[in-house]
Every structure is written in C-alpha cells, then in structure tokens.
Amino acid sequence: MSSEPSQGSTGDVSAPLSCTFCDCQLTEQLLALQSYPGAEATLPTAIPDHGGLTLCPDCASEVVELITSWHRHGQPPVGDDRSIGEGYRAIASTCSFCTNSCDGPVLGVELYRRIGDELPAYANYTLCENCQPVFGEFLENVRGQTEN
C-alpha cells in the first residue's frame, strides 16, 4: 500500500480528509460541520480557523449525541451585504441548544455530513452567546479524550 502524499496537484479538493481531532484518515463515515461566527462572535478554540470540523465515527459519537438534542432551523438567507454568520442571526430567533432568544453574537453551525440516522442529512443550527463557550468546552473535552 502506498502512503505517499500526493503533492503539487492543482486544487485537489478530493484529497482524503483527516479527522480534525485524532488525525486519522476519514472514510465515507464522517461527521462534517461548518461553523460561521456572526459579527462579534469568535470560533471556539477547538474549531480550526476555517470553521470546519470533520470527525471520524469514534470522535463524532458524543458530538452526534449532543447535536441530536439541538433544534434545527431553516437555511440562512445569503446576501452580499452580510456574512453567512449574520444570515444565521437573521433567521434564528432562538438558540438551537438552550432555546433562549439569541439577540447577541451568534455562531451558526451547518451540518452537512452525518453518521448514522439520528441526525438529518443536512441541517442548520444557531448557538447563542452563552452556549458558544459551552459547545467549545464540550469539543475540547472530546478532543482531549482522543489524545489519551
């Protein structure tokens, strides 16, 4: 089996993904989330700067459990005059997690690859200011477990 990394390819978007937390190579079975901070919001530290999380089944199991309890909402409106994160703020009146109204900084979370049937194939969620650090700490814990 060749383990040579493919180098110098032009815009190779189909390159194998690796798990954000444990760095194993991903197969078809993965959980993929994209986070969009709205104005004045920042990404939790466990989430890479580009806002994407791709997780292997081992790392994803607790995350799937958590997100299953979230309340999804419709797709955020896309416009040139605002960021995607602000689009989440426009469509979400309540937090997907605690269901309090979210009028402060929001974190939009897009789910586009799932593992198992508990989650929808595609969904959008928004976290309020209070729940963003909670989600961040949760992810830190999950990542910490994989490093043991």
Residues of this chain that bind Zn ion (CB under 5 A): 19, 21-22, 56, 59, 95, 97-98, 128, 131
Q: Which is nearer to Zn ion, 22 or 43 (CB)?
A: 22
SS3 147: coil
For the packed helices 57-68 and 131-146, what is the interaxial angle rounded to 10 degrees? 160
Q: Which is nearer to Zn ion, 55 or 119 (CB)?
A: 55
Tell me the closest approach of the beta carbon of residue 118 to Zn ion, in angstroms. Answer: 18
Tell me the closest approach of the beta carbon of residue 136 to Zn ion, in angstroms. Answer: 13
Q: Which is nearer to Zn ion, 84 or 128 (CB)?
A: 128
Contact 6, 16 (CB under 8 A): no
Tell me the closest approach of the beta carbon of residue 3 to Zn ion, in angstroms. Answer: 18
